[in-house]
């Protein structure tokens, strides 16, 4: 008990993200975390009051003990890379500098998040009017009207509605002034920034397994992701012609881009609960969730 109190009072080592079913336990003889299950290549982000955070990845079988009794032991651990690799932790998501929120014509306020060079809305769009004030058709889970779900999960909009009649990529659409509907290329910029470097990340409309790692970082924790980016993508399903389906199974997000595949169809981005990818598809008849990006 004395050791645990010393641990809490002095260094307060925090396990932020867990993968692979790992177990961490206070060592009985010292203070620290022991990575004692989960196999090779399991990873954890650890932050100490010594002032740094390291992503610790085990590269060999066997227990890894991370000492936290003193900064000297922590620094010695970082210097000994046998069986581990170390990398800097990803920076915590922050609001867009100078633009922490954006307000639509209905007065709805959305938080923002800076991801790389881009400033994104952190929540799904739920506006009911064009920027000029003209009402738009919006559906919400589960029956169209949606009630509180319109506020918490946003609305679904047909492509020509969300684009406000425009055919131009990156058009303002029904976004607030100074914001626009992201193009497929802008989604690709987002995916490339969060890509783990495995496989392809080229935005090929036929490539289902695109931008490995980006999907996990973009999805909310409830959707099976880590939300490391702060984007918080939801698996809200889709409104498809006359019915709603797929809530909890997938999330479809609009782009302002189109492609000629079996007709002229709108490109959209796909999120699935068990997928680490940011993939894409095309369909001209569905109603999509919308995130606006700053001009």
Contact predicate 82/62, CB 8 Å: no
Within a domain: 106: yes
User: The tokens 């800097």 sit on which residue?
Assistant: 88
Within a domain: 95: no
Within a domain: 94: no
Average pLDDT in the chain: 80
Residue that terminates a domain, selected from 88, 114, 146 = 88
Residue-range definition of the domain harbouring residue 229: 101-294
- Do 166 and 44 belong to one domain? no
Within a domain: 93: no
- At 144-161, the pLDDT tens digits run 766 778 999 999 999 999
- pLDDT of 200 reads 87
- pLDDT of 207 reads 67
- Do 116 and 81 belong to one domain? no
Integer Cα distance of 140 and 5 in angstroms:
50
- Do 69 and 203 belong to one domain? no
Residue that terminates a domain, selected from 88, 118, 134 = 88
- pLDDT of 31 reads 54
- Do 233 and 150 belong to one domain? yes
- Do 222 and 255 belong to one domain? yes
Integer Cα distance of 88 and 72 in angstroms:
19
Burial zone of 111 (CB within 10 Å; 0-12 exposed, 13-18 middle, 19+ buried): middle
- Do 106 and 78 belong to one domain? no
What ranges in 52-210 are assigned the alpha helix state H? 71-79, 148-153, 159-162, 184-194
Integer Cα distance of 144 and 140 in angstroms:
5
- Do 68 and 154 belong to one domain? no
For the chain, what is the domain count? 2
Q: Say how many CA atoms lie within 13 Å of 228 toward its Cβ.
A: 24
In this prediction, residue 44 has a pLDDT band, given cuts at 50, 70 and 90, of: low
Among the listed ranges 105-114, 208-217, 257-266, 283-292, which one has the minimum average pLDDT value?
A: 257-266
The secondary element (H helix, E strand) that includes residue 32 is strand 32-35
- pLDDT of 101 reads 98
- Do 6 and 141 belong to one domain? no
What ranges in 57-203 are assigned the alpha helix state H? 71-79, 148-153, 159-162, 184-194
- Do 151 and 276 belong to one domain? yes
- pLDDT of 90 reads 66
- Do 171 and 225 belong to one domain? yes
- Do 72 and 166 belong to one domain? no
Residue that terminates a domain, selected from 62, 88, 114 = 88
Within a domain: 75: yes
- pLDDT of 214 reads 94
- Kindly report the length of the chain: 295
């Amino acid at each position: 008990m004395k050791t645990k109190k010393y641990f809490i009072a002095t260094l307060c080592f925090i396990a932020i993200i867990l993968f692979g079913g790992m177990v961490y336990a206070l060592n009985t003889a010292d203070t620290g975390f022991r990575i004692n299950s989960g196999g090779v290549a399991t990873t954890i982000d650890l932050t100490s009051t010594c002032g740094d955070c390291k992503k610790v990845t085990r590269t060999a079988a066997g227990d890894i003990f991370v000492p936290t009794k003193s900064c000297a032991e922590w620094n010695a651990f970082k210097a000994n890379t046998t069986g581990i690799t170390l990398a800097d932790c990803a920076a915590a998501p922050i609001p867009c500098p100078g633009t922490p929120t954006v307000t639509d014509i209905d007065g709805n306020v959305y938080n923002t998040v800076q991801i790389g060079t881009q400033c994104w809305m952190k929540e799904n769009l739920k506006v009911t009017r064009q920027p000029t004030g003209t009402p738009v058709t919006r559906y919400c889970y589960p029956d169209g009207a949606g009630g509180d779900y319109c506020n918490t999960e946003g609305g679904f909009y047909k492509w020509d509605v969300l684009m406000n009649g425009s055919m131009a990529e990156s058009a303002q659409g029904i976004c607030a002034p100074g914001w626009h509907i992201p193009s497929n290329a802008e989604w690709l910029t987002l995916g490339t920034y969060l890509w783990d470097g495995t496989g392809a990340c080229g935005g090929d409309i036929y490539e289902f397994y695109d931008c490995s790692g980006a999907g996990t970082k973009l999805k909310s924790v409830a959707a099976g992701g880590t939300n490391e980016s702060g984007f918080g993508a939801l698996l809200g399903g889709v409104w498809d012609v006359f019915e709603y389906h797929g809530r909890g199974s997938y999330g479809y997000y609009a782009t302002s881009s189109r492609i000629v595949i079996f007709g002229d169809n709108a490109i959209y981005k796909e999120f699935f609960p068990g997928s680490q990818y940011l993939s894409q598809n095309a369909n001209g008849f569905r109603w999509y969730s919308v995130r606006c990006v700053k001009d």
